[in-house]
Structure 1
Amino acid sequence: MSELLANYWGGRWQTGSGAGTSLFDPVLGTELVRIDATGLDLAEGFDFAREQGGTALRKLTYRERGALLGAIVKVLQANREAYYAISMANSGTVNNDTAVDVDGGIFTLGTYAKLGETLGERRYLLDGELARLGKDPLFQSQHILVPTRGVALFINAFNFPSWGLWEKAGPALISGVPVIIKPASATAWLTQRMVKDVIEAGILPPGALSILCGSSQGLMDQLQPFDVVSFTGSAATAAVIRSHPAVTQSSVRVNIEADSINSAVLLDDSSAENAALDLLIKEVTREMTVKSGQKCTAIRRIFVPDALYERTAATLSARLAKITVGNPRNETVRMGSVVSKEQWQAVQAGLAQLKTQAELLFDGSKQPLVDADPSSCCIAPSLLGARAADAAPLIHDTEVFGPVATLLAYRDTAHVQALVRRGQGSLVTSLYGTDPEALAAMAAELADSHGRVHIITPEVAAIQTGHGNVMPQSLHGGPGRAGGGEELGGIRALNFYHRRSAVQASTNVLKHL
């Protein structure tokens, strides 16, 4: 029987009392490890984190907490090779895809370590300038941000077991808020191993970082008014979280990242359509295949002027045909598998649904798998097309979480703006063209329904960071269907873990803040 992973709970390593849930290699089908949290005292773990972890973290300054993050970065870098091996085995990813998750998580954590240094020897932040409350300037108001006296519960998705942890934990820990992480079961091994390495290094105060691998049942019941919860996953689960009494009655602060039907738009710019179209083709190919399309920021809808529909379909299909799919251990393979048979079935079902309203322009399933059995969780890219975009509502409403995207034609600027908005709020849209004025106008027009607008022109083709690559300096989140949440964005990420208060006093008192 495989190893049963331990949970770091209540300041000590504990294993569940149940048989456990097995995690599998999605390519080979072999059992890897087991996870279980049956019988753990949930209240004990939350209390320990609040009372021990929170108290210890709040005694430190931002600079001191940033130094702790810097020390964690060194530990993670030292164990990077082991993380790559776990990711390949448990997530079925090729090394380039693992880098997005593992190295991306470490880079993000390092960014917040450096931010702590800039914030200096403070334990709270000033928010804005002094505001006079009357004619006499002696009595004024100063807003401050102080760390919330609770815990941060992270309920994470399966696709980024490393980055999903550290992009949340970095801002929380530097804010002085202890973290409880509940990783998605299917890929929990990597998250658990990273936490284990950090705990064993003795960097953080006891209770500052806890992990529970297994069922999430009962976790929300432990939340108290000053706790926060951040969730990444389906809109259905997000609705359950939002309706929990901890949220509706105790006003627990919630951040949600849910479904997102992101788009890529080629502007109708005949002056340099070749250059802009080439950039679109390259980016869409990358977004469809990196992590086998299992990214919340991946491109799902591709909008091009009607006159370029056939040309785009042919060029993109030819590029996708060059993608080798199969066992990530084979150096010739460019795209591995989805993380589980459950996800494989979900992609197949979603693809079948979309095909009722779109034609199949490229069928990757006709390509042979490399060193992988057809019974594995490998799925090749599929490009769909719907020239009559208005008559295909499923394309705008259904996110297939895999290597699937749909090409759509539009008539004019007003038409494509309306089509993009049918996504009902997304994490990101990317724009391709050569006219700076037109691109800026389109960005401003679509900003209200997107957390991020990514513009790719020939001048930045070699240095742009990628449609789906979430950078810690920029906002990650989106309105409407995307969940209405906000993460990262540099120092903005700290707002979620702080409470704002107005201090009204004489100027002589306020100057000591």
Structure 2
Amino acid sequence: MLELEGQLPNQEDSKGNVYSSLSLKSLPSYANGQWFTAQADFRTVYHAVTGEPVYQVSSHGLDMQAVVNHAKKQGSKIASWTFHERANALKQVAQYLLERKEEFYELAKATGCTRKDAWIDIEGGIGTLFAYSSIVRRELSNETALVEDSWIPLSKHGTFGAKHILTSKAGVAVHINAFNFPIWGMLEKIAPTLLAGVPCIVKPATEGSEMTQAVVKHIVESGFLPEGSLQLICGQIYDLFDYLGPQDTVTFTGSASTGQKLRAHPRFNQYSIAFTMEADSVNSAILTPDANEETIDLFVREVFREMTSKTGQKCTAIRRAFVPESLLATVQEKLIVKLKKVVVGNPELENVTMGALASIKQKYDVAEKVELLNKDAEIVLGSHLRHDFTVEGTDSEKGAFYPPTLLVCHKPTEAEYIHQVEAFGPVSTLMPYQDLNQLAALVALGEGSLVASVVRNTNQNIEQLIANIAPWHGRLHILDAQNAKESTGHGSPLPHLVHGGPGRAGGGEELGGLRAVKHYMQRTAIQGSPNVITQIGHSWTAGSDYFEDRVHPFKKSFDELRIGERLLTARRTVTEADIVNFGCLSGDHFYAHMDKIGAEDSFFGERVAHGYFIVSAAAGLFVDAAPGPVIANYGMDNLRFVEPVKIGDTIQVELTCKQKTPKPQKDPEQKPHGVVVWDIKVKNQRNELVATYDILTLVERE
């Protein structure tokens, strides 16, 4: 949430002691290539466990227009880097941060979470950098722009067509983050942004901003990213939105009410600025009908974990737990038994299993929300009103502690608050359902969520249930005995999968592998001749000019090869012996190849050559057998068999150098090399295309 007001110079801590804000450490922002410390308009952050003031934040006096300009002028250098250069830099940053993780764990103590909870934020965030770096290095070429699709012919003779390309937006991405994941929340957003070649401005929530600032400090000192590609605002953003334009992007994670206020900024409408919101939502867990004992235990374990992990302060936490009416009492009893074993207190103590909320303010907010939920549901365990609530190792009144709280709503179809209000803490509500139709209707009352878990008996058919609830969710986690040991769990957004949800959840998408990278790029349809498409995309397009050389392309090093270099091979006539011998060698005796009578009655009318024989024969035509710079076949893509090859047909191959991608050396002893993509077209004696595909070879560099 954005801070709209500052605080007075003299402030009061949780003990009632008055102190001067000038005596507190102030977190500087990193902007315009330097660290900036404000002198006024401070907001104080208190230790979640002890209630003592820890630091203060303010960005008062920071020139927001200069911050935006610095990103677009200096930070734009990252757009000139290739995808692999960006990915390698991100990997280096991740390694640099991982070597300094203990510093982040130490800072996490002030946020009230256990080390296990901090792991999700710290090492989970750093792991996201590693994951994104790997995805891009594996799936994208070493270019600055991404060619998204194949040649789309738009004319009769193939001289006019198109491709879609994605280029880095000439703007800046502003990331406004929530308090619950000060490290992961930032890293999971800046990873795809930087990989897209777009600079970032990060605005962390005030609570936890010390952790965000420490990470940014190390990223800056590492020197792996160009200056201006990452800036940090600790405090308010003031008039920053007024300086954004049509190439800029804003992402927000936090409360739906704050997100809606931000989304209404007139600048966004004026310039169609992309705005992505991930808001609080009432995520669900569903226990399917006829659940057996093992399935019930899995369900209880998942709800328990999501209530207590990070003290329930996860945007994905389970807020509504739907149970078949006949199993409600059983589930309630089992869940209460587990929750009663939770030890709340100072997370530095070994016996403590759940720490504090992020702030005293958050404790009061959760308490208010539970009171609203209590209008629809009975509190069967916990709440701040419980007199036997004890806290280990510290004073419960001074810290932001809240006990695990379980409610039961017996009439969910008549409820109002249960489906709309999220108590952002260790709070969840059990509710019964009578049949799958009622269940789907109850789930929909949440008006859109990030995730729902469906816990089922192994092999139970839930196809119709998924079809009914999928439109209301960004992710569905299906749990059963078969995957329970390896499942990453209900509350774990992964870099490879979309994180977001429709409606109340904000309507946005984060993560999702390359989807997230593309979000910060502009998709443009490029129309023109094959030659111009080849020139722009750095990838040979069918119909483009080609050239031939007396030297076989497989005798040339990676650096000697040129895009568009072609080899037209000798010809080979396919015989009956070829087909019989290949069938015996491969064991493929499919009737269309080996049974003369069966083949005559088939679609082909006579025997035809194996498709893989054509691929093998083609390789025999274009491969140069002598030792040379080609190291190995790296793979094959986009194979299509277009026309059958019959006995007596003659084939010939056109081999064209399509694309080149240098690969980094993992080992200094390894020979430098790159991947060359070759366009393969196999044609018959009538110049008809019979097979087409790409092969990839590893080729030595000079």
CA contact (8 A) 1:269 1:435 kept: no
The 8 Å contact of residues 498 and 511 in structure 2, kept in 1 or not, is answered as yes
**Does 2:446 align with 1:444?**
no
User: Once the two structures are superposed, what CA deviation does each residue of 1:378-401 show, in whole Å capped at 9, x if it has no partner?
Assistant: 111000001211111210011111
* Per-residue CA distance 1:421-461 (angstroms, 9 max, x = gap): 11000000000012535234322321111000000000111
| 1:11 aligned partner | 33
- Alignment-derived partner of residue 444 in structure 2: 421
Give the corresponding residue for 1:235. Answer: 256
Distance across 1 between alignment mates of 2:447 and 2:220:
41
Q: Any idea what SS the aligned residue of 2:419 has?
A: helix
Q: Secondary structure at the match of 1:436?
A: coil
| Equivalent runs, 1:245-260 vs 2, <5 Å | 245-260=266-281
Secondary structure of the 1:93 match is coil
Q: Establish whether residue 84 from structure 1 lines up as the match of residue 85 from structure 2.
A: no
Return closer, same or farther for 1:144/1:451 CA change in 2, 3 Å cut-off: same
Deviation digits for residues 205-238 of structure 1, max 9, x if unmatched? 1101000101122121121110100000111111
SS in 2 for 1:129: coil
Match among 309, 326, 335 for residue 290 of structure 1: 309
Q: 2:188 aligned with 1:188, yes or no?
A: no
Aligned to 2:59: 37
**Equivalent residue for 1:219, pick from 240, 244, 260:** 240
Which amino acid letter does the alignment assign opposite residue 288 of structure 1?
A: M
1:269 aligns with 2:290: yes
Residue 24 of structure 1, aligned match among 46, 70, 80: 46
2:485 alignment partner, SS class: coil
Q: Corresponding residue for 1:368?
A: 390
Do the aligned partners of 2:136 and 2:514 also contact (CA within 8 Å) in 1?
A: no
Report the Cα distance in structure 1 between the residues aligned to 2:43 and 2:455, rounded to whole angstroms: 45
Partner residue in 1 for 2:642: none
- 1:112 maps to which residue? 132
Q: Rate the CA distance shift 1:435–1:201 in 2: closer, same or farther, 3 A.
A: closer
Q: Which residue number in structure 1 is paired with residue 83 of structure 2?
A: 62
Displacement after TM superposition at 1:469 (Å): 0.8
The partner residue of 1:386 within 396, 409, 430 is 409
Give, in angstroms, the shift of residue 201 of structure 1: 1.6
Q: CA deviation at 1:367?
A: 3.5
Distance between the aligned counterparts of 2:40 and 2:334, measured in 1? 53
| Equivalent pair of 2:345/2:352 in contact (CA under 8 Å) | yes
Amino acid at match of 1:65: R
Structure 2 alignment gaps of length 5 or more: 1-22, 538-702
SS in 2 for 1:338: coil
1:102-145, CA deviations, whole angstroms, 9 ceiling, x for partnerless residues?
A: 11100111111112322231111112232222333221111111
Partners of 1:217 and 1:308 lie apart in 2 by: 52
Task: Choose the corresponding residue for 2:508, options 469, 485, 492.
Answer: 485
Q: 2:607 corresponds to which residue?
A: none
AA in 2 matched with 1:186: E
Q: How many residue pairs are counted as aligned between the two chains?
A: 509
Unaligned 5+ segments in structure 1 are none
8 Å CA contact 1:360–1:383 kept in 2: the answer is: yes
Q: Residues 146 and 437 of structure 1: is their aligned pair in 2 closer, same or farther, counting only changes over 3 Å? A: farther
Q: Residue 426 of structure 1 contacts residue 449 of structure 1 at CA under 8 Å; is this kept in 2?
A: yes
Answer whether contact 1:67 1:116 (CA < 8 A) is retained: no
* CA distance in structure 2 between the aligned counterparts of 1:86 and 1:302, rounded to whole angstroms: 34
Mean CA deviation greater in 198-207 or 343-352: 198-207
Letter in 2 for 1:75: Y
Query: Are the aligned partners of 1:64 and 1:116 in contact in 2 as well (CA < 8 Å)?
Result: no
Within 1, Cα distance between the matches of 2:460 and 2:294? 17
Q: RCO (CA 8 Å, sep 6+): is it higher in 1 or 2?
A: 1
Shift of 1:19: 5.7
Equivalence map 1:26-175=2 (5 Å): 26-54=48-76, 56-89=77-110, 91-118=111-138, 119-175=140-196
SS in 2 for 1:231: strand
- Given that 1:338 and 1:344 are in contact with CA atoms closer than 8 Å, whether structure 2 keeps it comes out as yes
Counterpart CA distance in 2 for 1:469 and 1:417 is: 23
Q: Using the alignment, how far apart are the partners of 2:498 and 2:464 within structure 1?
A: 20
365, 370, 376: which is aligned to 1:357? 376
Give the SS at the match of 2:394: coil
- Name the residue aligned to 2:334: 315
Q: Secondary structure at the match of 2:345?
A: coil
Mapped contact 1:92–1:327 kept (Cα < 8 A): yes
| 1:434 corresponding residue in structure 2 | 457
Q: Whole-Å Cα distance in 2 between the matches of residues 511 and 92 of structure 1? A: 56
Which is greater in Rg?
A: 2
Deviation, structure 1 residue 263: 0.2
Give distance in 2, aligned partners of 1:278 and 1:380.
Answer: 22
Structure 2 residue identity aligned to 1:134: S
Question: For the Cα contact (< 8 Å) 2:182–2:204, is it kept in 1?
Answer: yes
- Asked if 1:199 corresponds to 2:207, the answer is no
**Alignment partner of 1:424: what SS?**
coil
Measured in 2, the distance between the counterparts of 1:413 and 1:141 equals: 48
SS in 2 for 1:508: helix
Pairwise CA distance, 1:164: 0.4
Query: Which residue in the other structure is 1:496 paired with?
Result: 519
Query: TM-score scaled to structure 2, two decimals?
Result: 0.71
CA distance in 2, matches of 1:380, 1:258: 24
CA contact (8 A) 1:266 1:304 kept: yes
CA distance in 2, matches of 1:16, 1:76: 27
Q: CA deviation at 1:59?
A: 1.2
Q: Is the 8 A contact 2:458 2:481 kept in 1?
A: no
Answer yes or no: is the 8 Å Cα contact 2:169–2:198 preserved in 1: yes
Of Structure 1 and Structure 2, which has the larger fraction of its residues in helix? 1
Contact 1:439 1:455 in 2 (8 A): no
Where 1:510 maps in the other structure, the secondary structure is: helix
Give distance in 1, aligned partners of 2:497 and 2:226: 29
Q: Is the 2:455–2:479 contact (alpha carbons within 8 Å) kept by the matching residues of 1?
A: yes
Alpha carbons 2:458, 2:482 under 8 Å: kept: no
Distance 1:302 1:143 in 2: 44
How far residue 323 of structure 1 moved from its aligned partner, in angstroms, is 0.6
Matched residues in 2 for 1:369 and 1:471: separation?
33
For residues 368 and 77 of structure 1, the distance between their equivalents in structure 2, rounded to whole angstroms, comes to 36
Counterpart AA for 1:135? K
Q: CA deviation at 1:247?
A: 0.9
Q: Report the alpha carbon displacement of residue 186 of structure 1 after superposing the two structures with TM.
A: 1.5
Q: CA deviation at 1:150?
A: 0.3
Give the deviation of 1:6 after TM superposition.
1.3
Task: Show CA shifts across 1:59-85 (max 9, x none).
Answer: 110000001101111121111001011
Aligned partners of 1:225 and 1:246 also within 8 Å: no
Aligned to 2:320: 301
CA distance in structure 1 between the partners assigned to 2:221 and 2:42 by the alignment? 24
SS at match of 1:467: coil
Q: Which moved more, 1:361-370 or 1:215-224?
A: 361-370
Q: Provide the C-alpha distance between the structure 1 equivalents of 2:455 and 2:83, rounded to a whole number of angstroms.
A: 40
- Superimposed CA distance per residue, residues 175-211 of structure 1 (whole angstroms, 9 cap, x where no aligned partner): 1000100000121100001000111121211101000
TM-score, reference length from structure 1: 0.97
Aligned to 2:530: 507
Could you tell me how far apart the structure 2 residues matched to 1:450 and 1:136 are?
46
